[in-house]
Structure formats: structure tokens, C-alpha cells
Amino acid sequence: MILVELRRELHDLRWGSIGYGLGLAIYVLIMIFFFPTVRDNAAVYQNMLDAYPKALREIFGIEDMTTLPGFIGAEVLSLIWPIVVAVFAITAAAGFVAGEIERGTVDLWLSVPVRRWRLLTGKFLGLALALGVVVLATIFGLVVGTPLVGESLSVTGLCALAVILYVFALAVAGIATLLSSLLSERGKAGGLAGLLILLSYLAWVVAGLSKRWDWLRFVSIFSAFDPRPALADGALNMLHITVLLAVTLATMFAALLVFERRDMV
């Protein structure tokens, strides 16, 4: 039954994953084509960056925009990519349970003689595969565009980037799945998930700007999201990977537990 739900979810998300993936790949290509302008005027751009506070440069990943990994990290990976993927993941996951309740189809869905956790697991795995498509499309954009501007990226860096992007997307999807299991309206589940991700991002920003609020980084998933060094050096911080996977597993376990015990009437 897990495979049935997985195929159903993949079918429902097929155009969404293609659309989001294609959109991100095109955006990556556009940014890559703009990079030679920055590269050819490296001294000017570096002087502009030096005018910003160091903490601000570190937060937004703009410490070195004169290299392709640094430029892509700042223009795509640090903010735009997480926002776009969070919208896709939250929109899809928020409808897993809350959407069925809102549409009045939950009784039909649960009439299948299998445990509830299998149904929800199938949906999540379908979304996980769809998110994989979006991540691969992003990597594809980098692979295609990089040689066109006379640059190169290592296979190790691209693989490391794919890993950190994917586990971040799964963590966001896990959070949204838990809220979908708790609430009965897709809009509320999605809105609250979006708010939590936004607050997590703001906590990360504030933690980077003030030592007094440094503790906030421990409550933000963005503290574990470091795509730029992954792309530049192929460096994976295994603690960060573990944290994001732990968030995914913890939220999914909680979602399955809530869904199993919840009264749908």
C-alpha cells in the first residue's frame, strides 16, 4: 500500500516538481550567465562587499562573490533556493492529511484496510522523490551552465551540494507533514509551516548579527544549511547533515504517531 500511495503522490506532484525544477534550473543558468560581469570586475565588486559588515556577509553568503561557487551561493543557494523549495514542499505536505479532511475524502482514504502510518508514509516518500527531482534539476542547471562561461565545478562539490539541498528540503517537508497531521485545514497547516520556517530563518539571521542572541542558532534549521562550502570544496558538515535528518525523522515520527491516534470525525 505504501507503493500505491507513493505512485499516487508522484502522479499528483509530477507537474509541480517539473515546474519548480525547471524554474530553478533556468534561474541558475541566468545567474551563471551574469557571473562573467562580476568576474571581470572582481576588484570593484570586492570593494563593494568589503563595505558591508563581516557578520552580514557571512549570513547571506556574500563573502566571496568573485568565484562561481561564492556567486551562486549568494545569488541562488542562500535565500532564493530555500524559499522556492520550501514553498513547494510545504504546499504539497500540508495537504497530506489536512487536505483530505478539508476535501471530505478522508473517510474514503482511510477505508483501505491498512494501517494509517503506511498511507502517510507513502505520501511522504512520493514527495521525497519529487523533491529529489527539483534538487537534480538545480544540479543540472549548474552542470550545463558552468562550462558556458569558462568555469568548472568539481563532481565532489556538486554531489555534496545535492546532499545538503536534499536533506534541507526533507526537513521542511517533515515539519509541514507534522502540521498537516495536527490540523484539519490545508491552508492553516501550510501557513503555520511557512511561519515556522520564516521564524527559523529570522532566528538564524539575528543569531549571526548579535552574540547576545547567538543561542538562537540552536533553534534554526538554517544553521545546518551550508550549501556554499559544499559546492566550493565538496565539504559536508556531517553534524549539519545529521541535524537535518534528525529533524526529518523526528517530525515524521511525530506525524505518524498523531495520525495513527487522531480522531478524524
Q: How far is CA 37 from CA 42, 71, 127, in A?
A: 8, 11, 38
Given a cut of 60, whether residue 261 has pLDDT beyond it is yes
Q: Which amino acid is at 202?
A: L
Question: Which among 166, 6, 16 has a CA at the least distance from the CA of 81?
Answer: 166
Inter-CA distances, 54 with 18, 64, 65, Å: 38, 11, 14
Taking only Cα atoms into account, the Rg of the chain, rounded to an integer number of angstroms, comes to 20
Query: To 5 degrees, how large is the angle CA 66–CA 72–CA 77?
Result: 140
Nearest to 225 by CA among 43, 83, 17, 30: 83
User: Lowest-confidence range among 95-109, 167-181, 185-199?
Assistant: 95-109
Q: What is the mean pLDDT of residues 184-205?
A: 95
DSSP letter for each residue of 84-138:
HHHHHHHHHHTTTTHHHHHHT-HHHHHTSSS-HHHHHHHHHHHHHHHHHHHHHHH
pLDDT, one tens digit per residue, over 139-178 is: 999 999 999 999 999 999 999 999 999 999 999 999 999 9
- One-letter amino acid identity for 90? I
Distance from C-alpha of 84 to C-alpha of 26, rounded to nearest angstrom: 13
Report whether 106 contacts 100 (CB < 8 A). yes
Give the three-class secondary structure for 23. helix
Q: Report pLDDT for 265.
A: 54
Q: What pLDDT shows up at residue 64?
A: 74
Rounded Cα gap, residues 136 and 149, in angstroms: 21
- Cα–Cα distance list, 143 to 69, 135, 149, 151, 249 (Å): 12, 13, 11, 10, 31
Alpha helices for the chain (secondary structure H): 2-40, 42-50, 54-59, 68-72, 80-93, 98-103, 106-110, 116-145, 155-182, 186-209, 227-233, 238-261
Q: What is the pLDDT of residues 26-55, one digit of tens each?
A: 999 999 999 998 888 767 767 776 666 666
Boundaries of every domain in the chain: 2-261
Buried (b) or exposed (e) across 250-264, using 16+ Cβ within 10 A? Answer: ebbebbbebbeeeee
- Amino acid sitting at position 234: G
Question: Residue 61's pLDDT is what?
Answer: 63
